[in-house]
Chain A
Amino acid sequence: MDAIILQILNGLDKGSAYALIALGLTLIFGTLGVVNFAHGALFMIGAFCAVSLNKLLNLSFETVDPTRTDFLGNPLKVKTPYIEGWFGPDLGHAIIDWSVPLAILFSIPIMIAVGFIMERGLIKHFYRRPHADQILVTFGLAIVLQELIKHYYGANPIQTPAPDAFKGSFDFGAMMGFDPNTIIYPYWRMIYFAFAAVIIGGVFAFLQFTTFGMVVRAGMADRETVGLLGINIDKRFTIMFGLAAAVAGLAGVMYAPINSPNYHMGMDFLVLSFVVVVVGGMGSLPGAVAAGFLLGILESFASMNEIKSIIPGIDQIVIYVAAIVILLARPRGLLGRRGVMED
């Protein structure tokens, strides 16, 4: 029982990341009709916003400590972050410690700008081209972006810790009457899940309850008619691209403390996120979110030793097996609509 609860918890945080990326993918596909293979790169850029802010806050001046020596035997240069010099060691340290939550604010304008430049600069030229062209150009863009990140940040993962206050884990077992230490879950992963829920709720509320959202939904249903009504739907869709980029970026920022970011992390999530979108139903936002969590939980269960002992290697293929089964039973995915990506 406790093992099952643990794997559900595991699945929820993995599912949160899949759902956030798939949500952005679906927003872009639903509004602009573009299959954006560079979406994983946006997730990665978000994580590197957290890395960059952490590095910025850690910019230091050097003082020479003659009592100690460095690896070459020269007097040791001790680095002190400027921020600790300006605000005092305690406050300065606290600001650096909270760099990941601060990066949320830092990343939103950056991600919107990146999204805007990507859409206006490249992707808009491919609206009327076949999906295959769009996939190729966005996939190429993803590779360019990740190589750029690798050039500036290196290939190794970069540690970006959560604030000290959120280190450690919560003992669900003790709370729920199981043995202590059998169901423990890291605080930051619980925060990640809550954060994802807030963002997903926010995007749905925005689309559902604002006039802007209503126009966008109308445009998703029938772009031409909305255009004929004199509404500049393209402008709104560009804004939606920025929003989708911001959602992916925020997912990346908050993911940085879970696994140290590296240049390849976007690609690791991209393929799975596409499976999530297809399983959820192309163009369906609730479908993307539901499939994200479903596949996240399935993946967690498949890596349990009990299940692996029955079907060896199932942890590596379970998502694809589930996708095949679901698509055979429901060819348009869980919540897919007729006519999307169909001739």
Chain B
Amino acid sequence: MTNFLTRRGLLKTGAVTGAGLALPTIFTSGASAFTNEPTGGTVTLGFNVPQSGPYADEGADELRAFQLAVEHLNGEGDGGMMQTFSSQVLEGNGILGKKVEYVTGDTQTKSDAARASAKSMIEKDGAVMISGGSSSGVAVAVQGLCQEAGVIFMAGLTHSNDTTGKDKKANGFRHFFNAYMSGAALAPVLASQYGTDRKAYHLTADYTWGWTQEESIKAATESLGWETVNTVRTPLAATDFSSYITPILQTDADVLILNHYGGNMVNSLTNAVQFGLREKMVNGKQFEIVVPLYSRLMARGAGENVKGIFGSTNWHWSLQDAGSQAFVKSFGTKYGFPPSQAAHTCYVQTLLYADAVARAGSFNPCAVAEALEGYEFDGLGNGKTLYRADDHQCFKDVLVVKGKDNPTSEFDLLEVVEVTPVDQVTYAPDHPMFSGGALGSCNAGA
């Protein structure tokens, strides 16, 4: 036994082992301190949007916004909202002097496909940040992946409370508003328009976003005196909602709340109008329909049926502040039509990321996260906005909108009826609707 363990032998073995262990650091002393650290003259961003599937049109609009943002960051075009942004550290020379390049992925609005495309952009293309998406299921899945991989995730259109609630992550940031905010902004307007003595019937898309949307608007309207008659979950794949609409006729409900998005919203609203719900009188009151989350792109599919129907939205192109006008001008000039709310949030997220890198002086995700946390800004179309450190959610004014009675064009479908001040939609970080998860600590990967 002692033959094996001599002093000289031990020294030799120790030296060899030590050299072996040190080898990686000797050879990689110049290697990344974090995942995909940009080394050349360029930096790559990954835009993960639905390019196929039911939200492909929304994805296409997101992609247009990303391309515009990249142009502006690289000093091309008219600069858009970079001129109105309260932070003026971006100079139009890329990010930290590195030219911005991008790769795209197709989420297909499926969690597994979205994770696969994000993974490929991170591992094969060297993307240092992932952004985009049009569904909360996808956002939560990709956010989790980015956390593990050590890159920043700047969420696109995602409205479920869970994205910055129980599924929040230190590497993930959401600019878009959420279901709680929709409920808090919409309920007072509904109460003033339709009174406090109302009976509501909910149809809800049966997945994460639908559940939190229903919970939020239900709590908000009940606190103002409304009664909830029934909440019915409908399959996400449902196309004909007539058999869910007709039971409403048998109840004494006088408001129908459609917690539906996309094609579901178009079909359920169209069906409800076909069944004469909007002409119906119940309890001596006019029957009303509410769509808590509006998308102008999708409202087009419902045509005239959206007229006079209340909902909420994150942003609308008709806003008159300097930021919105600058964005609409550069987007409209380049593409010939006004941008959607999905396009707006994606453009803003890209600028916010670039700005955070510039202020931090580093692409390191932990430095970027620190620069974004608690950051207050203005001039990006939503007024004064705070990126709250506790949950990485943006807090800003919320728009309550109504389907326009006399649209002047195919884009002019919604009118802003109220800009709900941020204080009214702010909640405590430990609010029960957002409890359950922990932000954790940032992961720089590599």
Contacts and interface: CB of A to CB of B under 8 A. Distances in A.
A168 B54 contact: no
B196 to A, nearest CB: 24
Contacts of A186: 274-276
Q: Which of A11, A189, A303: most chain B Cβ within 10 A?
A: A303
A72 B329 contact: yes
A11 B243 CA distance: 8
B26 to A, nearest CB: 53
Interface of A is mostly: mixed
Contact of B237 (A161, A169, A268): A268
B188 interface: no
Interface residues of B, number: 50
A161 B411 contact: no
A3 B57 contact: no
B57 A159 contact: no
Contact of A182 (B232, B250, B338): B250
Interface stretch (A202-210, A257-265, A332-340): A257-265
Contact of B250 (A3, A14, A72, A154): A3
Interface in A259-279: 259-260, 262, 264-265, 268
Interface residues of A, number: 46
Contacts of A308: 232
B328 A169 contact: no
B250 A71 contact: no
Given A68-B408, A268-B237, A260 B249 contact: no
B249 A6 contact: yes
Interface string B17-33: 00000000000000000
Interface string A10-23: 11011000000000
Nearest to B109: A155
Interface string B234-249: 0101011011101101
A71 B330 CA distance: 12
Q: Which of A6, A150, A154, A157: most chain B Cβ within 10 A?
A: A157
A262 B263 contact: yes
Interface string B336-349: 01100000000000
A262 B409 contact: no
B297 interface: yes
Contacts of B52: 150, 155
Contacts of B317: 71
Interface in B411-437: 411-412
Nearest to B235: A316
Nearest to A13: B242
A70 B338 CA distance: 10
B53 interface: yes
B270 A259 contact: yes
B245 to A, nearest CB: 9
B273 to A, nearest CB: 9
Given A71-B328, A156-B297, A6 B246 contact: yes
A299 interface: yes
Contact of A300 (B230, B243, B276, B412): B243
A316 B243 CA distance: 12
A117 B91 CA distance: 58
Given A6-B246, A156-B298, A305-B230, A169 B239 contact: no
B56 interface: yes
B56 A71 contact: no
Interface stretch (B81-89, B301-309, B357-365): B301-309
12 contacts: A7-B246, A10-B243, A71-B317, A72-B332, A72-B333, A156-B263, A156-B301, A181-B276, A184-B276, A189-B242, A259-B240, A315-B235
Interface of A: 2-3, 6-7, 10-11, 13-14, 68, 70-72, 76, 150, 154-159, 161, 168-169, 181-186, 188-189, 258-260, 262, 264-265, 268, 299-300, 303-305, 308, 315-316
